[in-house]
Each structure stands twice: as structure tokens, then as C-alpha cells.
Structure 1
């Protein structure tokens, strides 16, 4: 795989609230390390970095704008020259300027990392693929949480993560590991 000079790294919802205990058990305990390695590489090579911040509409959310959970984790605070997209729903394209700004900058290749795999990552990847962007989801730089399915059966974060990646791979995006991307 070739990383183009104008490939954008899109870091989704790396905010303080994502570590709230009420979200439960997660998978990929080293996902942040992998995200930070990718971020360091993107910054070193001068490629575009886009930080996505969720501003929830629900006061019960860990991303409610009027509490500390909405702030970026210290290691993921955007630097000068890096784009910030603030969203109100899981999909980073919906109701934002993301598509317009990507097209204006002639960016056609997107690398998605962040949280939650089955929510904001998956919805953003689906839209990106549908809009014709060459979309890559970096599986070991994303994570999610244990979740009950529609019928009430608890599914492990690993199973939820795997199913979400399965939903995306080959149709909306290409799923790879950070090692494959940086090789």
C-alpha cells in the first residue's frame, strides 16, 4: 500500500471522556500508542492531520460540551496547522465541513483511527467510502467497548470490533494494521 503525500490522518474522538469507567471494558489496550505513532509519522512527513471532536447533544454523554470529558486528551491536542472538525453525530461528515475541506485540499486518501470502532469510526468510514474517498481503517489504532446486541446478548469489545471491521472491509474501506501501514 502506498501512502500518498496528501493522505490525511483522521483521529476520531480522542477526548478525555472516552476513558470514563461507565463506558465499560474495551479492546485494543495499545490503540492510543499506535495512534500516537501514526500521528508522529504524519507530523514528521508533513501530511495533513484532522482531529475530530464530538460535541454531544445529550447532557448524559461523556462528550457533553459543558464538562471536562469533551476536551482532547493531552497527547491528542491539535497543533497549529492541523484541522479541527467538531461534530454532533457519530459521522464526521454529517453536518460538518469535512468533505468540502478535503476536496478543496485535493485529499483523496484517508486513514481513520480512533473510537469507537462500531460507532464514529464505522459511520465516518462508510460515508467516506460512499463519497469516493480511498478509505483505510487502521484496526489496531481503533477500539470499542463491550456491547449488548439487539437481542440483549452481551458481545465482547473484541467481537464488536471484529464485526465492525468486517462490515467495512472491502466495501467501504480497506482494513489494515498500523504495522502494515508504516512498513
Structure 2
């Protein structure tokens, strides 16, 4: 696996998730880590493909035209960066993501975003099934606390840990922002 031509795929880095209608999240470093990854990819001229959830559900905070549909500050696509609009959990379903990646000659996809257990996980799983080398930057992901179906609540960090473990066991290489940036720097040094 090489990062020399890896695509960065920020998933659903949208403002809706800060609205009070959503459950509590846990990762206070989400934005800082995600922005560090974006900066590293942009500095090196590597491909960035942004994923935005354009909900078709009535009343959704993620629906086009709603304030929550907008990207979080700093996560807006820049000129030349692709925008993938999806309406289901996987960024590959009902979009041209696979075609875009193939045209770019991409085999490795680095993924981060919201939420670990939903759209990030589904995108990583489908990407792995499509035979891409998937890399999950776990500390640049976030998720929500969830009802456990028995009247209790599963803490968001527990939901995150379980899904990261599952993805790392079967579908992706799991890393941290710091380790990935170091690896990216080392790879750039070897190419020079």
C-alpha cells in the first residue's frame, strides 16, 4: 500500500451534526485532525474528493437548502476538488465515485468523517468490497451516542471503538492522523 497517489475522502463533514437535534458526539479533535489531513493532501497536490450527504428524507437537517447541509468551516471543496453528492450511507452507491477514482488511477483511499459507524463505515466496507485499499484515520472520525434498544445508551466513544475494530479486522488499515502524516512525509521524502 502506498500513499503516493492516495485519494483523501472526507465523508459528511457537514454543519448539521452540530445541531441539537443530533445526539452527543465525543471527538473534540475531529475538525483539527481533518483539517490537518486536508492541508497535507493539498500541499502535496494529491487528489481530494469530498462527500456530502444530500438527504432526501423530509425534514432532514442534511437536506439541500438547509443550513446543516453546508460543510463545516474549512472543509469546503476548493477549485479542482471533486464533490460527491450521496443520499444513502455509502459514497459509492448512486454516485460516480468509483468511476472518478478509476479515471484518476487511484487504488488507495484514505477516509475520515462523520459518522464512524454509519456513512464512514459503509463507505469503507463498500470500497474494500470493490477492491480498493482502504485506510481509516480513526481519530479524524466521530460518531454519536446511541440507544441500546433496552432503555439505555451506548456511549459514542464505545460505538466508535467497536466499529474501528471491525473495520480494522476486515476492511481497512486503521491509523491515526499523526502516524499517517508522518508516513506521508516519509513517502514524499523518498520520492524527492
The bucket for the TM-score relative to the shorter chain is: over 0.9
The aligned residue for residue 147 of structure 2 is 148
Structure 2 unaligned spans of 5+: 183-192
Q: Give 1:170 shift.
A: 2.7
Query: What residue number does 1:76 align with?
Result: 75
Report how far residue 59 of structure 1 moved: 2.1
Which consecutive unaligned segments of at least 5 residues does structure 1 have? none
Partner of 1:172: 171
CA distance in 1, matches of 2:160, 2:151: 17
- Partner residue of 2:95? 96
Q: Note the C-alpha offset of 1:66.
A: 2.7
Q: Separation in 1 of the partners of 2:173 and 2:112?
A: 13
User: C-alpha distance in 1, partners of 2:173/2:150?
Assistant: 29
- Of structures 1 and 2, the larger Rg is shown by 2
- Aligned partner of 1:58 in structure 2 is 57
Aligned to 1:45: 44
* Pairwise CA distance, 1:151: 4.1
Q: Could you say what the CA RMSD is over the residues aligned between the two structures, in angstroms?
A: 1.2
Distance 1:134 1:27 in 2: 27
The size of the alignment, in residue pairs, is 182
Indicate the residue corresponding to 2:128 in structure 1.
129
Residue 52 of structure 2 aligns to a residue in which SS?
strand
Q: Which residue of 2 aligns with 1:158?
A: 157
